[in-house]
């Protein structure tokens, strides 16, 4: 009888219209065989996944037979994602194989009955679906899913009877499927990907190229217990391009890093300086925060920024990582919902297990060792044991960790209070063990007033340096809230740090710079500067931008290999480089620092922890009426990726330049390439808009255009002019003597 069941056709014919919370409508005609008119309807509705289950009793048994339809919203259409069948074999119909259950499940991502999400309806006279050898026949279907309107008559767009297997319309929702070695699925991914690249041509001009990654690419997937990877591979003139996305589910599912490899072919990158070579880039940020058992959805564009001027724009994202069963039980993380629990690394929960303190921040502690004049830097890990207490007026969060190679436990404690309107950190205590030092215990002043907010404090554009005698606590990239009593954070007000720096906060924070200088990282940048300029240095006293610049900088750097050969590499300074500087009366400075990521030999992945800082420092001078770029200092880490087999670890050089001059309170603008020689390094600056020694809150619009620098030829030109004058003078003198002599000779001859 088992074989007989496999060949049985199960027909579902309904006369009535079943309705669940006004979200689903499934109507059939001509009742027949299994599903009676009074079948019980149950279901579940969410923004991405919903379910409808029909249950009924057959014959004299008290067992419920069920058919479950799982629906999915792919941002544009709704479809039936899968069907589950659970039939009890009663004695009347299965006398030789009774008292057993027949369980069948369709393939995932059926793409069955698709219709437009907003105003669509799917109608089909007959569709057949295979479930483990059994054929399920659905006739006279009329289906609406994810409905949010009371009046379904407004749905005008009708899709009729698509059969994906027969008519070739099987455009699966998830083109990227990661599987275990036994062919079971460990991850589903849908997204659109565009690679945006900037590159330099051989004549030092900047060009850009957008590459749309084909949706149906050659995909390489792999799974482990805690990770899965999706590698998209496509060809460009017989050469392979690829993007690898690495996901991890440690505590929460995240895209941990992406690795991009693009071949610089002649067709897509004409006249590029690195034609015929691969350009690689990586990003090591945590993206797509998803619950441990969840789904990530995002209709917005997400940009992954990397070094080498390669950015990846991802949109239309739908991610189901690791567990692809029981979709209705999964929590949905929507990127349009600004902040959720999964955006925080440090969480303290109250007795009811509700997160009462949530924080995400980068913390490092600089310890100055006066004995050997070295600085020890302790970085607080993002994964630490977070403990604390949550009271009505005062709370605290304690982060505990052990430094590699040490047994002693370090901790940093944040003391938190609230007033009638805001919450804030009023004091910080540190207990750490530095290298070759005893335990260091420091505690700040009582009135810090950090991260003051009525709801959630969000600040990614500011650094805090809290100086406690011989140590400095550095904090940046802050997301913080406390005294929370709600499971859902969506109702909370988000406070942006820009323009909201509290005076009590700034008075408690000191920096290592002199009073006449300012570190860009310690003073918030006003919105007007952020929107208009990439690189800004703020005057700490006046809170205006003394230096502001937009420009693209390339450096062609020669280096000697271990085989005594001379190679060269072109580096582009990233537009998101960290900006530091100072504002003086006659001398000012702007320093751009960034991290060139090297490839880890031990892990064979790109990781920012293996990189080291590079810096490009510009010194400005001014007189009574003008300012100019006086000198450039370079400090470049010779990483293996950009400087393979280099004989040196660092390249440092200082050169007086004295170029880019403009009147005070005027912008300097230059659309042409400005090429400078810094010792052996060719520095090319493109599309410059720059001002230094600015004193006004609103930067002046008055500007001077550049005159191409001819300083290298000035001596020759002046020499030629002087030489010409001398030659002309000597020629005139000789002519004068000649004519004088001839005139005298003539008189003498006549007199004779």
- Any idea where the domains of the chain sit in the sequence? 9-160, 176-334, 341-496, 532-596+612-705
Domains 341-496 and 532-596+612-705 alike in fold: yes
| pLDDT-wise least confident of 211-215, 422-426, 538-542 | 538-542
| Residue 352 CA: distances (Å) to CA of 28, 346, 418, 421, 485 | 48, 17, 21, 25, 9
pLDDT tier at 749, thresholds 50, 70, 90: very low
pLDDT tens digits along 4-37: 333 333 344 333 333 444 444 444 343 344 667 6
Asked if 79 contacts 111 with a C-beta cutoff of 8 angstroms, the reply is yes
pLDDT of residue 498: 53
pLDDT tens digits along 482-504: 998 877 676 677 777 753 333 33
Q: Is the pLDDT of residue 469 over 70?
A: yes
Topology of the domain covering 532-596+612-705: Porin (2.40.160)
Q: Is the pLDDT of residue 616 over 90?
A: yes
Q: Is the pLDDT of residue 339 over 60?
A: yes
pLDDT of residue 152: 78
Share of the chain above pLDDT 70, in %: 78
pLDDT tier at 39, thresholds 50, 70, 90: confident
Q: Is the pLDDT of residue 733 over 70?
A: no
Q: What's domain 9-160's architecture?
A: Beta Barrel (2.40)
CB atoms under 10 Å from CB of 515, counted, come to 9
pLDDT of residue 134: 76
Question: Residue range 283-293: average pLDDT?
Answer: 76
- CB-based contacts of 26-29 (< 8 A; 24+ apart in sequence): 26/52, 26/69, 26/141, 26/142, 26/143, 27/140, 27/141, 27/142, 28/138, 28/139, 28/140, 28/141, 29/139, 29/140
Topology of the domain covering 341-496: Porin (2.40.160)
Which CATH entry fits the domain spanning 176-334: 1.10.3720.10, 3.90.1010.10, 3.40.190.10, 2.40.160.110? Answer: 2.40.160.110
Q: What is the Cα–Cα distance from 540 to 276, expressed in whole angstroms?
A: 48
| pLDDT-wise least confident of 111-115, 498-502, 611-615 | 498-502
Burial 613-630 (b: 16+ CB within 10 A, else e): ebbbbbbbbbeeeebbbb
pLDDT of residue 602: 34
| pLDDT-wise least confident of 34-38, 566-570, 669-673 | 34-38
pLDDT tier at 747, thresholds 50, 70, 90: very low
Asked if 504 contacts 445 with a C-beta cutoff of 8 angstroms, the reply is no
Using DSSP, state whether 660 is helix, strand or coil: strand
Two tokens, residue 640: 């293996």
Residue with tokens 């996944």: 49
pLDDT of residue 18: 39
**In the chain, how many H helices and how many E strands?**
5, 49
Q: What is the Cα–Cα distance from 639 to 644, expressed in whole angstroms?
A: 7
Question: Residue range 114-118: average pLDDT?
Answer: 90
- Global pTM exceeds 0.85: no
Q: Is the pLDDT of residue 398 over 90?
A: yes
Q: What is the Cα–Cα distance from 285 to 459, expressed in whole angstroms?
A: 17
| Residue 549 CA: distances (Å) to CA of 529, 546, 642 | 10, 10, 26
pLDDT of residue 371: 57
Higher-pLDDT residue of 206 and 736 is: 206
pLDDT of residue 507: 31
pLDDT of residue 74: 92
Question: Residue range 374-384: average pLDDT?
Answer: 81
Mean pLDDT, the chain, rounded, equals: 77
Identify the CA nearest to 421 among candidates 398, 452, 394: 452
Share of the chain above pLDDT 90, in %: 13
Two tokens, residue 249: 């589910």
Q: What is the Cα–Cα distance from 537 to 521, expressed in whole angstroms?
A: 9
């Amino acid at each position: 009888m088992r074989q007989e069941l496999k060949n049985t056709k199960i027909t579902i014919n309904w006369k009535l219209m079943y309705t669940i919370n006004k979200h689903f409508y499934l109507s059939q005609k001509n009742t027949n065989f299994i599903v009676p008119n009074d079948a019980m309807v149950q279901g579940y509705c969410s923004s991405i996944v919903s379910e409808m289950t029909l249950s009924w009793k057959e014959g004299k048994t008290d067992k419920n037979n069920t058919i479950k339809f799982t629906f999915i919203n792919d941002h544009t259409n709704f479809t039936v994602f899968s069907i589950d069948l659970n039939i009890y074999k009663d004695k009347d119909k299965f006398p030789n194989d009774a008292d057993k259950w027949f369980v069948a499940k369709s393939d995932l991502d059926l793409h069955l009955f698709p219709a437009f999400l907003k105003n669509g309806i799917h109608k089909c006279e007959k569709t057949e679906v295979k479930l483990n050898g059994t054929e399920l026949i659905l006739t006279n279907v009329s289906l609406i899913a994810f409905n949010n309107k009371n009046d379904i008559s407004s749905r005008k767009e009708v899709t009729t009877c698509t059969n994906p297997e027969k008519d070739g319309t099987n455009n699966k929702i998830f083109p990227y499927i990661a599987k275990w070695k036994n062919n079971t699925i460990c991850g589903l991914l849908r997204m659109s990907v565009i690679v945006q690249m900037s590159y330099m041509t051989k004549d030092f001009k900047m060009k850009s190229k957008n590459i749309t990654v084909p949706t149906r690419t050659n995909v390489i997937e792999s799974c482990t217990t805690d990770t899965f990877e999706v590698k998209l591979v496509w060809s460009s003139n017989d050469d392979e391009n690829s993007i690898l996305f690495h996901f991890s589910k440690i505590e929460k599912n995240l895209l941990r890093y992406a690795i991009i490899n693009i071949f610089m072919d002649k067709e897509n990158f004409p006249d590029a300086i690195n034609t015929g070579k691969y350009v690689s880039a990586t990003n090591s940020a945590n993206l797509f925060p998803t619950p441990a058992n969840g789904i990530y959805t995002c209709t917005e564009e997400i940009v992954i920024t990397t070094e080498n001027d390669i950015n990846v724009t991802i949109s239309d994202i739908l991610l189901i990582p690791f567990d692809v069963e029981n979709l209705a039980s999964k929590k949905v993380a929507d990127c349009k919902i600004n902040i959720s629990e999964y955006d925080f690394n440090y969480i303290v929960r109250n007795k009811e297990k509700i997160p009462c303190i949530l924080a995400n921040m980068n913390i490092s502690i600089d310890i100055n060792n006066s004995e050997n004049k070295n600085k020890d830097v302790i970085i607080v890990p993002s994964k630490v044991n977070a403990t604390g207490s949550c009271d009505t007026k005062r709370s605290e969060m304690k982060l505990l960790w052990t430094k590699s190679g040490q047994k002693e436990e370090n901790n940093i404690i944040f003391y938190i209070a609230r007033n009638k309107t805001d919450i804030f950190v009023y004091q910080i205590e540190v207990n750490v063990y530095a290298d070759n030092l005893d335990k260091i215990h420091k505690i700040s002043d009582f009135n810090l007033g950090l991260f003051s907010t009525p709801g959630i404090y969000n600040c990614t554009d500011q650094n805090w340096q809290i100086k406690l005698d011989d140590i400095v606590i550095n904090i940046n990239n802050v997301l913080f809230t406390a005294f929370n009593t709600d499971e859902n954070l969506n109702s909370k007000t988000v406070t942006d740090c820009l323009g909201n720096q509290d005076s009590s906060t700034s008075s408690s924070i000191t920096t290592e710079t002199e009073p006449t200088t300012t570190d860009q990282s310690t003073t918030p940048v006003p919105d007007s500067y952020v929107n208009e300029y990439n690189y800004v240095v703020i005057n700490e006293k006046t809170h205006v931008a003394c230096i502001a610049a937009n420009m693209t900088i390339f450096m062609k750097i020669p280096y000697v290999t271990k085989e005594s050969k001379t190679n060269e590499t072109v580096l582009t300074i990233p537009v998101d480089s960290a900006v530091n500087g100072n504002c003086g009366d006659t001398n000012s400075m702007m320093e751009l620092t960034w991290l060139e990521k090297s490839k880890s030999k031990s892990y064979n992945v790109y990781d920012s922890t293996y990189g080291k800082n590079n810096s490009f420092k510009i010194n400005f001078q001014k007189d009574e009426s003008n300012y100019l770029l006086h000198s450039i200092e370079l400090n470049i880490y010779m990483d293996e990726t950009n400087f393979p087999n280099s004989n040196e670890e660092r390249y440092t050089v200082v050169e007086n330049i004295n170029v880019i001059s403009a009147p005070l309170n005027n912008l300097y603008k230059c659309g042409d390439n400005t090429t400078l020689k810094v010792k052996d390094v060719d520095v090319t600056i493109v599309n410059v808009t720059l001002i230094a020694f600015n004193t006004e809150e609103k930067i002046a619009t008055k500007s001077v255009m550049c005159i191409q620098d001819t300083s290298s030829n000035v001596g020759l030109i002046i020499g030629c002019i002087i030489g010409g004058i001398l030659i002309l003078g000597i020629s005139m003198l000789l002519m004068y003597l000649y004519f004088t002599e001839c005139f005298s000779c003539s008189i003498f001859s006549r007199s004779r």
